[in-house]
Each structure stands twice: as structure tokens, then as C-alpha cells.
Amino acid sequence: MEKQKDLPFPYEFRELNPEEDKLVKANLGAFPTTYVKLGPKGYMVYRPYLKDAANIYNMPLRPTDVFVASYQRSGTTMTQELVWLIENDLNFEAAKTYMSLRYIYLDGFMIYDPEKQEEYNDILPNPENLDMERYLGLLEYFSRPGSSLLAAVPPTEKRFVKTHLPLSLMPPNMLDTVKMVYLARDPRDVAVSSFHHARLLYLLNKQSNFKDFWEMFHRGLYTLTPYFEHVKEAWAKRHDPNMLFLFYEDYLKDLPGCIARIADFLGKKLSEEQIQRLCEHLNFEKFKNNGAVNMEDYREIGILADGEHFIRKGKAGCWRDYFDEEMTKQAEKWIKDNLKDTDLRYPNMEL
């Protein structure tokens, strides 16, 4: 599709108020990149996002583009692998290429502020052990705006795009052009997984625990929250022929069925044998140790925290190991309040 005249970016941003800023700094203050709140829903975006916000909102799209979208830690990586393999005729050999080279991470750039490069070294416990050449190469990549990365893909190549941005921050009519698979997951499990992910990447201050993180998360003070606004935007589009809305819990209940749904959505036909091969490939223990998707190459560079992993447990209901009685009641009220005016319902969620 040819690029049309740019639309004005419709949202203004504001700085965090003193109470919000205090809570965020208490838990994320050591991390150099700072937040602003965007638009009437107050999405929490890292400040560098503002430099590319209008470009993403107006990015030229192609009918062959495939987007995998979600609020983070909702089953995104497994879905990326599934979508890519189905679209590429189950080429498992080619799938040994790093996921980061097969997908454009549209909003990955916003976590890094090039003007604060030296400060990122300071949050690492052993900066002297960095593989400096690879580290600087990674920073250079994350300094490139997402819209530029997407535009650089030759017209002859199919573009696979991962994003955690809500639909309202992307082109208004994108589903007229591209296909999108959107993942949702029990927000309590998302919160737990996001907590560990934040520790993995040294986003959290050392003294912060899960209860501190939960306070930020459910109050809409963590990256790209408020969570429910994000999911409800996609849920509202679930009947669009170019949108496939899935729950992570559906994978756990019926992976073959989900694979068949994704294949059908992408216009592909799979045999029972092919579906079984994909199920075996996505077996959690096997997937967790798949070097093309588990980000352990980042550990070799020196930027992942010991004791944490990008792919963790892959189960439902792990939140029960983290929530005390007060937090459980708090979460139930938060979920009920956010679902009361919508028909969005999560599988197996008892409230």
C-alpha cells in the first residue's frame, strides 16, 4: 500500500504526577529510561517512543504483513514461532535463525535512550564482563526507531512484526491491510511474568519485590499499562476477519486446536502430522531450551540477570504462589471492575 498523507498524531502526553513518579522511582528509578503517560487512557510509554509515535501511527503497511501483538508476557514468543513456521511451510531448519532476525520488534526501541548510553552500564552488576562489541551493536539496533526498521525491509520480503503497542497507537485502519494475531492471558500471571522479566533486564531496583511491582502494575504505572485497556482494544476487533484473538490458556488446553485455528486464519492447510510436529516443536521444555527463541545469547553479551530466564514456566495459575490474601482480593476487585462493562471473559477464571 502506498503511503498516504500523514495523519496528525492524535494523542498528547503528560509527565507523571508526583505520587506516580514517587512510586515508579521507588521501583524503577535505577533504570535510565523514563516514562510519560500518553493519551486519554494514560498508556505508560518510555520517553523515546515519542520520537517515533507519529511515524508508527502513519507507517505504510503491506497486505502481506503479519503482526503478532499482545500485552507483554502473554504467549507472544510461542505465537511468533507458530505464525512464522506456518507461513514458511514448517521450515524448521530456517527457524534456527534468531527470532530477533525473523521479526521486527516495532516498539523495542523505546526502552533505550541513546543520550544516556553510559548510564545503562551502571545498572549491570559486572559491566567489565560485557562483550563490548556485541553490546554496542545491540544498543545501535535499539537506537533505530521501529518504523525505520520496518521500512528497511525490501518490498520483495514478507514482514513479520512483533508489537506490544495497543491498537490505538498504531495506524487506525491497519486491519484493512494486515493480519494480526493478538494474545491475552490472565493478568495475574502476566504480572508475575512481567516482574521476572523486569528483573531479568535489570529494570527493577534491587530492593523491589513482587508486591511492590504489583502495586505499579495494577495501578497502570508499568510499561504499556493500563493492562485492561490494552486488551479491550483488541477484544473490540476480534470479529474483524484480519484479527485472530487468542488466550494463552487456550494453548495449554488445546494446542493442536489453536495451531489449526492459526493456520486457517493465515489461509494455510496443515495435516494432522504437521500439527503434531508443531506440537512437538513447541513442547515447553524443548522450547525453553531453543537457542533461537530463549534470548540466552543476550546472557553471553552480559546483560541478563542470573537466576532469571526469558522463557520461564509456561503454566497457568502460577500467580497463586505470589499473591497473599490481600493482593488476591485486590486483584479480584480490579478484574471485576474492569470487566463489568464488557463481555470479555478469561478462560477458567473464577472470581
Q: Quick one: pLDDT band at residue 2, thresholds 50, 70, 90? A: very low
Task: Work out the average pLDDT over 257-279.
Answer: 98
Which residues 6+ apart lie within 8 Å of 78 measured at CB? 251, 282, 287, 314
Q: Quick one: pLDDT band at residue 1, thresholds 50, 70, 90? A: very low
Please report the DSSP string for 41-75 in residue order.
TTEEEEGGGGGTHHHHHT----TT-EEEEESSSSS
CB-based contact 90:274 (threshold 8 Å): yes
Specify the length of the chain in residues: 351
Measure Cα distances from 228 to 36, 187, 251, 287 in Å.
18, 8, 21, 28
pLDDT computed for residue 288 by the predictor:
86
CB-based contact 66:88 (threshold 8 Å): no
Asked whether the predicted pLDDT for residue 3 surpasses 80, the reply is no
As a whole number of angstroms, the distance between CA 340 and CA 169 comes to 25
Q: Quick one: pLDDT band at residue 348, thresholds 50, 70, 90? A: confident
CB-based contact 76:166 (threshold 8 Å): no
Task: Work out the average pLDDT over 224-246.
Answer: 98
pLDDT computed for residue 306 by the predictor:
87
In tens, the pLDDT along 270-293 reads 999 999 999 999 998 888 889 888
Residue 225 half-sphere exposure toward CB, CA atoms < 13 A:
19
pTM of the prediction? 0.95
pLDDT computed for residue 4 by the predictor:
63
Q: Quick one: pLDDT band at residue 351, thresholds 50, 70, 90? A: low
